[in-house]
Structure 1
């Protein structure tokens, strides 16, 4: 527990420095590195640790996809190119190594190398959306991780009914509800505080929607990546974060929440809210 808490505090400091102190390129490079690690973890889980060819291919595709999708201002054909390149590269590997793996493993590598990086890079697209992007980026992190924390304490205090006993035995319905309520409260308080103490006005309806929907989708993301682990027979995706596991163990909920918040920011901006 001490290791987990210590690393959590260290991670929070790194996030704050990357968002508000260091040049934007630092945050972009950090997320690109995390995307590459996530691609390796997911491919190793779904295709097997011995399929090094697929893992390397997924990591290279993740590097390209995370760069191509880092900014809204980048031409969309770069992302289309990566979607196409991913198909070609992986099917070439299948043709060469069809005795070692099949389409199921190929699909896992494509998801890990193409889709996960695109979803994770929503954080950077929000970050570069405007000069106040750092404040926007905090919203999905607060919704995802705030929901996790609130769900944990609500489950410990009130949990009686199992939410998904086979996939994640410790999660309860009461904890899930507490996570949604807690995330909604946290994001609204954050929006009010940012509006009060900075030159940025964060819409309370936006923060409320991000908190509620983000908490729900974050819990779906958590359970989704948990069932992949269970099907793969592993406890954690990796060991890169002491006390927390791998990138996917820490960012499983964020992968589902970040794209949602990115869409909400565009939607509320277009509606003038």
Structure 2
């Protein structure tokens, strides 16, 4: 518990420095690292991708896509749609080439897992960077974290206080229906408060209807994300995805709900778009 709290404090300080003090490239490199580590964790510790060349191709695709999105290239600019197209094509060809070359020992489901880890996970995690790149993004990027982690915290306390009915007894025995409801209500209230403070003390003008949607929908979908990655752990027989975050586990142990919530927040912001 001591390591968990200490690392949480250090992580919080780093986020503040990356958002408001250090140059944007630091945040870009940090998100790139998260993308590559998430790709690795969903494929290797789980055993979903056993072939080392498939694993390398997927991690390389994740790195290229994340770096191309987050780190400015002084030589030329690649449009995001073109970058996604190129990386997806590269990864698909590389994975099927491995399958064709070693079809006697490699299974087709490894292609699917490699594509998910190398492209889908990074694409969703990179919603954090796309939000950060919006006007006022240094504040907006906090919203998916508030929705995801706020929901987790509120669900924990609501479950401890009122929990009686198991939500998913096999997948996550400690989660309750009452806790899940408390997570949605708490995340929505917390999001409204954060948006109120942002509107009052920054140049942002975020729609409160959008804030309610981000809080409620983000909490629901975030809990789906949490349970989804828990199912993968249970079915593959692992306790944690990694140990990079002391006391917290791996990237997917800490960012499982964020991976699902960030695209929701990005979508709401693009549709209802805050004015600056």
TM-score normalised per structure 1? 0.94
Match of 2:209 in 1: 205
Q: CA RMSD in A?
A: 2.0
TM-score, normalised to structure 2, is 0.93
- Counterpart CA distance in 1 for 2:231 and 2:153 is 20
Indicate whether 1:111 and 2:116 are aligned: yes
Distance in 2 between residues matched to 1:129 and 1:197, nearest whole Å: 18
Q: Distance in 2 between matches of 1:105 and 1:47?
A: 9
Q: What is the CA–CA distance in structure 2 between the aligned matches of 1:63 and 1:116, rounded to whole Å?
A: 12
For residues 80 and 105 of structure 1, do their structure 2 counterparts lie closer, same or farther at Cα, with a shift above 3 Å needed? same
What residue number does 1:244 align with?
A: 248
1:95 maps to 2:100: yes
Question: Is the 8 Å Cα contact of residues 49 and 114 (structure 2) preserved in structure 1?
Answer: no
Relative to 1, partners in 2 of residues 1:56 and 1:30: Cα closer, same or farther, differing over 3 Å?
same
In structure 1, distance between residues paired with 2:34 and 2:56: 15
Q: Which runs of 4+ in 1 moved over 6 A?
A: none
Q: Which residue matches 2:237? A: 233
User: Distance in 1 between the 2:58 and 2:272 partners?
Assistant: 35
2:43 is aligned to 43
Tell me, yes or no, if structure 1 residue 64 matches structure 2 residue 64: yes
Unpaired runs of 5+ in structure 2? 72-77
Describe the SS at the equivalent of 1:199: coil
Q: What is the alpha-carbon distance in structure 2 between the residues aligned to residue 54 and residue 165 of structure 1? A: 34
Match in the other structure for 1:157: 161
Structure 1 residues 3-12 or 40-49, which shifts more? 40-49
Aligned residues of 2:35 and 2:122 also touching (Cα < 8 A): yes
8 Å CA contact 1:154–1:179 kept in 2: the answer is yes
CA shift digits 1:30-64 (9 cap, x unpaired): 10011001101111144457533222222101011
* CA shift for structure 1 position 97: 2.6
Structure 1 unmatched ranges of 5 or more? none
* 1:261 counterpart = 2:269: no
- Give the alignment partner of residue 134 of structure 1, picking from 100, 113, 138: 138
